[in-house]
Structure 1
Amino acid sequence: MSDGYARVAAAPREPAGGPVPGLALAIGCLTGWRRFGLAWLAGALGASAMPPYGFLPALAVSLTVAVWLMDGTAAGRSTLRRLWPCFLIGWAWGFGYLTAGLWWLGQAFLVEADEFLWALPLGVVGLPFALGLFYGAGFGAAGLLWLRGPARIAALAFGIGAAEWLRGHLFTGFPWNTLGMAFGQNLWLMQWAAAIGLYGLTILAVLVCAAPATLATGSHPRSRFGPSAAAAIVLIGMALYGAARLGPPDPVVAGVRLRLVQPNLPQDAKFRPENRADIVDRYIELSQRPPEVGEPEPTHIVWPESAFPFLIQRDPEAVAKVAAGLKPGQHLITGAARAEEPLPGERLRYFNAVMVIGPDGTISDTYDKVHLVPFGEYLPAPLDAALRALGLRQFVAIPGGFSAGTLAAQRILAVPGLPPVAATICYEAIFPHAILPAGHVPPTPQPPGLILNVTNDAWFGDTPGPRQHLAQARLRAVEEGLPLVRDANTGISAVIDPHGRIVARTPLDQETWLDADLPARIVGGTLYGQFGDAAFALMLAACLGGAAIARRRP
């Protein structure tokens, strides 16, 4: 098929000679393992546009190579016959992109290597291998619309945009490092998330970063240089709008002073029930340290996800000890596992929860995690039983894992002295427009005033993982127009205003604490907060329509 592509590429309507057209021709003519190997390498290069690196040109090179590979695959083939080879290019590209972006998952299997080392290839290679199928489907859909010319960039944006949305929703969803994060980590560019969200940013990222591919093709300077010029104008316009939207620092909520406690507890044998007293003492000691000279006393203390290696709700002595460590008027918001009495014939149910504890020792409110991590926090009972029969177990040493909170019960936390709190636990904060489920009725007439994210990234050590997690949670603040308060066991803990500005943060892997005021929410909210992915759906339809119309033109 490379000969067919060579004939198409050499047609009179193509630009004559030049290094860029020559490079595009050489890439398009690749076949076999060279084609798919280059697709894998291009995808891996694209991952360096994600946090913590943020090298946007890498995604431009990555997607440009992908377009040229698609050109060579589509040339000379009928519409249906190009579906499978385009799918394979997309799968190889996605496999490389996710392998390079998610390799740090392997760190979690090394924490208790004697039990979990066997599963390391499943996390480091198996997960990217499987999730690459979404990109394969996206590239396949784009291939059905493929036409040499600028419209093929819209076709690719449609295919990848739809694939990323599906990756974030199907099979419980995993929208980690969605391509829109290439724009979603830059303070100016991320402001567009307030209107179009992460998936809208994904459409823009593909349109902008794949546009240079047209420099190698086109019978007229307008079709050859126009897309790249348009991409530059879009980037400049996004940056100017973002800079204008930022404005002065956001006001703060009067009478609120937060203390985020980062104990830096290792995820190993030290975090055991027999060490409960030392662990609780460590939290209390960090919580009671005096503030900086001239700074007010904290009104609210925050501890991270799964703060205790035991069920504190069933340990009145520990609850009393925690309450005694609070000063009058202070309240504690902490992550903690909790148990619920079973119905007759059922096993005890465990939940990954957030609890509100007052100075009188009362647990006044709780939130149970709804979006559990598959294989990490839960397994279907038959699979869990099969693993245990083989002498293996999942990460959470609870038969069957945690139970999920129900959407009907999901609610805003009521914390005395704070505006209503939209609670998220761990990677729940990476899901766009999922801070509150559709149809949610809060317990108070007030809208939420902040997003709380408690997490434990100790599993992943000093890798890109915790930094990527922070960047994705940060974008939720911009989308919803709410400040984000994030407390992580080993870091990175931070307070972020509703425009995505980091007010204060801690280093990674340090025992420390952070005192900060609470920024106020954006009055009236954001377009994305009100309408969700409606703008993304319109952008997706526009890309599909533009590519389809171009195909019908003579």
Structure 2
Amino acid sequence: MASKPQAASDAAVAAAPAAGNFADVSAAVARLRGWRRMAAAIATGALSVLAMAPFFLWPVLAVTLPILVWMIDGAGADRRPLRAAFSAGWCFGFGYFFAGLFWIGEAFLVEAEVFAWLMPFAITVMPAGLGLFYGAAALVARLCWRKGLPRLLVLAVALGMAEWLRGHILTGFPWNVLGYALTFNLPAMQMAGVLGIYGLTLWTVLALAAPAVSAADGAEQRRAVRGLVSGGLILAAVLVTLLGYGAFSLSAGPAPMLPGVKIRIVQPSVPQRDKWRPEKQREIFLGHLALSRRSASGTLDDLEGITHLVWAEAAMPFMPLSTPEALAAIGELLPDGTHLVTGALRIETAATGEARRRAYNSLMTFDTEGRLAALYDKIHLVPFGEYLPFQATLESIGLEQLTRMRGGFSVGSKPRPLIAVPGLPLVGGLICYEAIFPAAVVQGEARPGLLINVTNDGWFGNTTGPRQHFHQSRLRAVEEGLPLIRSANNGISALIDAEGRVLSRLDLNHRGVIDGLVPSARAPTIYSRFGDLLFVLNALLFLLAAFVAPQDG
């Protein structure tokens, strides 16, 4: 039997070639300058999108994040190290957001004769702007850069803060936050109920950048081997903790169903190009009525046994509150005790009688008489989709938002009110991309018992965009410990429980309905009680460790 020292020596010898290879690669990356570094950073960032939905190839980040680390290492040898670090971070971010958000261009092709000329600007200007957050993160990290493991801790905090700021500055746009990489299956998702997506980002960057530890600047072989082992242990520890906690959380089994509640979610798959054509209005509305009368198996049942019918965002291509015949048809559709919850548009004239009218993107509930029983107006509007920044100025030169609503939509009442839908627990309404904002799902002291997300992702075709949107919506259920009903015009519609289990779903471009029982809520999660406080505490812990831990070399 070999002695322990001999075994350790053998392990070191076995690991040495791998460590040496890492050191060679890291040195080559660190030496990149000028356009070569920029091109490599853009390509590396673009490749990183494979870690997001719908691919979930999270090991890709174990390659791309170390490359970013080595580029920031190399910036230290540049004549202007901070500018070099910013450039590397910005280029990485540009590539990441360009590859991850290319589908936004699809929206400009719905009415190509009007908006197609804007598409090249949309798919380049937005990634360029969002890339500034990653550029700033790399610059700040370089200011605090230390050798070995401490630099990974610093970078994790810098990128975590960049993601948090990206979700809050101006109107915020926290799409494809890096932490989603470690929500690749149901057990892995459960940690979102503790740390939230920003807290997960810290651990994602630390764990998946860990291979960079094996290639410290000028590391001799023994130290490189030690770094390789350390990096592997960090990654393994994070994954074991993530999956272990998830398995424990799920061991209690699904929550019971709400008594006396059965829903029908309608997915009509109306082509976006037809959605607002005046000649199609009646056909689309009648299509909703006909689809609502049939079960998931296709049987005509006239909503027998259904307590709540759910339609998607702006399901009716007109203003239902000012269309009496539509309200009458809704009343005729609904049997006694059944309510319709639907996305719809409405116009409100100012109480003073002035000409100024306000348009709202709303979530409405109708009763069996076709009367409005509950109302929520969207509070987080999509820039350039539902309103134009500097609206009056831009409209004066002929520009308008994609929804073609003159003057844009108005913001509803804040904080987000809970909706009292008869027969359901208090509802948290989420219209379209409101579901991507962590900690904004529930506002105020009262907690809902259910989330309803209505959306229309038909703007974005059969791309990764709707799939990313669905996954991010699903994470809001896990963070808050609340079931989610999701109705999307062309998909992905689903019924999801408080742990993120998808109980039923309709994929993109499928026409049909989901019939199902509604799960009950779980007890408030740690994240639902404390929000991003644990993210802040983890960030402080990372910084403390970074400046207390000895530098490797």
* Alignment correspondent of 2:512: 512
Matches of 1:296 and 1:211 in 2, distance apart?
Answer: 56
Asked if the contact 1:147–1:551 (Cα under 8 Å) also holds between the matched residues in 2, the reply is: no
The amino acid of 1:373's aligned partner reads V
The amino acid of 1:494's aligned partner reads A
Q: Secondary structure, in 3 states, of the residue corresponding to 2:190?
A: helix
Q: Secondary structure, in 3 states, of the residue corresponding to 2:231?
A: helix
Select between 354-363 and 243-252 the one with higher mean Cα deviation.
243-252
* Alignment correspondent of 2:435: 429
Matches of 1:291 and 1:511 in 2, distance apart?
Answer: 10
Matches of 2:296 and 2:90 in 1, distance apart?
Answer: 52
Matches of 1:514 and 1:76 in 2, distance apart?
Answer: 58
Matches of 2:229 and 2:71 in 1, distance apart?
Answer: 20
Alignment map for 1:112-511 (pairs within 5 Å): 112-217=111-216, 218=219, 220=223, 221-247=225-251, 248-290=253-295, 292=297, 297-342=305-350, 343-345=352-354, 347-380=356-389, 383-408=390-415, 410-437=416-443, 440-442=444-446, 447-511=447-511
Identity %: 46
* Alignment correspondent of 1:10: none
CA deviations over 1:147-190 (Å, ceiling 9, x no partner): 12111110110110010000000011000000011012421111
Q: Structure 2 vs 1, CA of residues 431 and 335 (structure 1 numbering), >3 Å: closer, same or farther? A: same
Deviation, 1:66, is 0.5
Q: Secondary structure, in 3 states, of the residue corresponding to 1:34?
A: helix
* Alignment correspondent of 1:7: none
CA deviations over 1:255-292 (Å, ceiling 9, x no partner): 11110000111111453234332222111111111454
Q: Secondary structure, in 3 states, of the residue corresponding to 2:273?
A: coil
Deviation, 1:328, is 1.2
Asked if the contact 1:158–1:544 (Cα under 8 Å) also holds between the matched residues in 2, the reply is: yes
Determine whether 1:83 maps to 2:82.
yes
The amino acid of 1:237's aligned partner reads T
Matches of 1:550 and 1:33 in 2, distance apart?
Answer: 35
Q: Secondary structure, in 3 states, of the residue corresponding to 2:191?
A: helix
Matches of 1:415 and 1:235 in 2, distance apart?
Answer: 41
CA deviations over 1:475-502 (Å, ceiling 9, x no partner): 0000000011100000000011110110
* Alignment correspondent of 2:8: none
Matches of 2:278 and 2:329 in 1, distance apart?
Answer: 16
Q: Structure 2 vs 1, CA of residues 76 and 547 (structure 1 numbering), >3 Å: closer, same or farther? A: farther
Matches of 2:551 and 2:485 in 1, distance apart?
Answer: 51
The amino acid of 2:539's aligned partner reads L
* Alignment correspondent of 1:533: 532
Deviation, 1:224, is 4.2
Matches of 1:46 and 1:155 in 2, distance apart?
Answer: 20
Matches of 2:372 and 2:28 in 1, distance apart?
Answer: 66
Q: Which runs of 5+ in 1 are unaligned?
A: 1-14
CA deviations over 1:38-85 (Å, ceiling 9, x no partner): 1111111111100001001111111011111111112477xxx52221
Asked if the contact 1:290–1:297 (Cα under 8 Å) also holds between the matched residues in 2, the reply is: no
Matches of 2:44 and 2:161 in 1, distance apart?
Answer: 20
Instruction: From 37, 40, 44, give the equivalent of 2:42.
Output: 40
The amino acid of 1:272's aligned partner reads R
Asked if the contact 1:190–1:478 (Cα under 8 Å) also holds between the matched residues in 2, the reply is: yes
Q: Structure 2 vs 1, CA of residues 371 and 233 (structure 1 numbering), >3 Å: closer, same or farther? A: same
Matches of 2:83 and 2:413 in 1, distance apart?
Answer: 40
Matches of 2:286 and 2:305 in 1, distance apart?
Answer: 20
Matches of 1:346 and 1:92 in 2, distance apart?
Answer: 48
Matches of 2:552 and 2:74 in 1, distance apart?
Answer: 21
Asked if the contact 1:50–1:177 (Cα under 8 Å) also holds between the matched residues in 2, the reply is: yes
Matches of 1:265 and 1:181 in 2, distance apart?
Answer: 30
* Alignment correspondent of 2:73: 71
* Alignment correspondent of 1:8: none
Asked if the contact 1:291–1:297 (Cα under 8 Å) also holds between the matched residues in 2, the reply is: no
Q: Secondary structure, in 3 states, of the residue corresponding to 1:107?
A: helix
CA deviations over 1:303-331 (Å, ceiling 9, x no partner): 00011221100112210111111111110
Deviation, 1:393, is 2.2
Matches of 1:336 and 1:344 in 2, distance apart?
Answer: 24
TM-score by length of 2: 0.92
Matches of 1:320 and 1:349 in 2, distance apart?
Answer: 25
Asked if the contact 1:481–1:498 (Cα under 8 Å) also holds between the matched residues in 2, the reply is: yes
Deviation, 1:244, is 1.9
Q: Secondary structure, in 3 states, of the residue corresponding to 1:18?
A: helix
Q: Secondary structure, in 3 states, of the residue corresponding to 1:336?
A: strand
Asked if the contact 1:185–1:471 (Cα under 8 Å) also holds between the matched residues in 2, the reply is: no
The amino acid of 2:424's aligned partner reads L
Asked if the contact 1:145–1:548 (Cα under 8 Å) also holds between the matched residues in 2, the reply is: no
Matches of 2:148 and 2:189 in 1, distance apart?
Answer: 29
Deviation, 1:521, is 0.5
TM-score by length of 1: 0.91
Q: Secondary structure, in 3 states, of the residue corresponding to 2:186?
A: coil
Matches of 2:275 and 2:203 in 1, distance apart?
Answer: 46
Q: Structure 2 vs 1, CA of residues 275 and 508 (structure 1 numbering), >3 Å: closer, same or farther? A: same
* Alignment correspondent of 2:13: none
Q: Which runs of 5+ in 2 are unaligned?
A: 1-15
Q: Secondary structure, in 3 states, of the residue corresponding to 2:258?
A: strand
Q: How many residues of Structure 1 are paired with residues of Structure 2 in the alignment?
A: 527
